[in-house]
Amino acid sequence: MYTIEELQKIVSTEVDLRSKELLKNQPVELYDPISYSLDMGGKRLRPVLVLLAYNMFAEAIERALPAAIGIEVFHNFTLLHDDIMDKADVRRNRPTVHKKFSENAAILSGDAMAFQSYRYFLEERSEALPEVLEVFSKTALEVCEGQQYDMDFEQRMDVTEAEYLEMIRLKTAVLLACSLKVGALIANAPATIANQLYDFGINLGLAFQLQDDLLDTFGDQAVFGKQIGGDILANKKTFLLINTLEKASEKDKALLVDWIEKTDFDPKEKISAVTELYQSVGVKNMAEEKVNDFFNRAILILDELKVQDVVKQPLRDLAHKMLTRKH
């Protein structure tokens, strides 16, 4: 069994290699933004999940490495386009791709990344490839559906918590779940276990995104790697905002709506004022309880998985690491 740290090192080495290979292609103006995006680092969480799931049933993880890289490239493509839509300036403490290059370059290079991810999947022609590509293609479409819901929510003030959770299930959780299922499928794991790992990933992904919401408002920017309060400035309908709108007094709700509708404001003042409203309602504690709820559901699924505890331990360790992260 590989450790999480060993798998992270393997993934990082492979991503670096693939990034350098892409720069050999022409026109370099298309591939330079892709290489820049991949070189920005990150937790490499999704490819590690692919390899972790594979390693639960087989040792030769190089068989799962192309799919792991494919998922990582696809994930970075979604971040690249998300940053354009969110008008984000910073990603992982570096200028976003559209700021470093141009918006048009980021759009086109992002498109190329989406197609390149499929080419990586096709490198390992295992018997499971049709099912792997079916799971990945369905997931890719669901991620787009989640992003559309996120965009739709920008125009609404009546978004419910249930709608929000479904949006983040699609936008974030399904790709984590897909990573685990893909790894298991390539290793020829039983379908029941592959599906359980998928469900584990959904619950872990929901906890992960809710934790991300908390860090965006209450985290340390130097550690988090993105601007603190970015969701507040963009009026994102997060768990925090939705529940504050629902539970605040009429006076505080009116104040929050006023901040949402303002077009001319000092960013620091808005972040401070809205954060104070969040704290007055107690939504930080509510979000933390919801994180723990989904995390515990994920661990319950893992406990029920019919494989040896020693085989499940790396995945359990990673889940705990995700829950206690600061970035």
pLDDT in tens, 248-305: 999 999 999 999 999 999 999 999 999 999 999 999 999 999 999 999 999 999 999 9
Q: Using the predicted structure, report yes or no on whether residue 90 has a pLDDT greater than 90.
A: no
Q: In degrees rounded to 5, what are phi and psi of residue 91? A: -140, 120
CA angle 89, 93, 97 (to 5 degrees): 45
Q: Class of the 190-327 domain? A: mainly alpha
Q: What is the DSSP letter of 305?
A: S
Q: Using the predicted structure, report yes or no on whether residue 115 has a pLDDT greater than 70.
A: yes
Residue 92: pLDDT band with limits 50, 70, 90: confident
C-alpha span between 242 and 261 (Å, rounded): 15
Alpha helices in 262-282 (DSSP H): 267-281
Q: Of the candidates 181, 226, 227, 221, which has an alpha carbon nearest to the alpha carbon of residue 200?
A: 181
Quote the CATH superfamily of domain 1-126. Answer: Farnesyl Diphosphate Synthase (1.10.600.10)
- The mean pLDDT of 117-122, rounded to a whole number, is 97
pTM, to two decimals: 0.93
Q: What angle, rounded to 10 degrees, do the helices at 129-153 and 161-168 form?
A: 140
User: Do the first three CATH levels of 1-126 and 190-327 match, i.e. the same topology?
Assistant: yes
Q: Average model confidence (pLDDT) for the chain? A: 94
Strands (E), the chain: 90-91, 94-95
Structural domain boundaries in the chain: 1-126, 190-327
C-alpha span between 22 and 116 (Å, rounded): 10
Q: How far is CA 50 from CA 122, 123, 286, in A?
A: 15, 15, 31
pLDDT tens for 140-158 read 999 999 999 999 998 899 9
DSSP 22-88: HTTSSSHHHHHHHHHHHHT----HHHHHHHHHHHTT-S-GGGTHHHHHHHHHHHHHHHHHHHHHHT-
pLDDT tens for 177-214 read 999 999 999 999 999 999 999 999 999 999 999 999 99
Q: Which residue has the tokens 């990034």?
A: 19
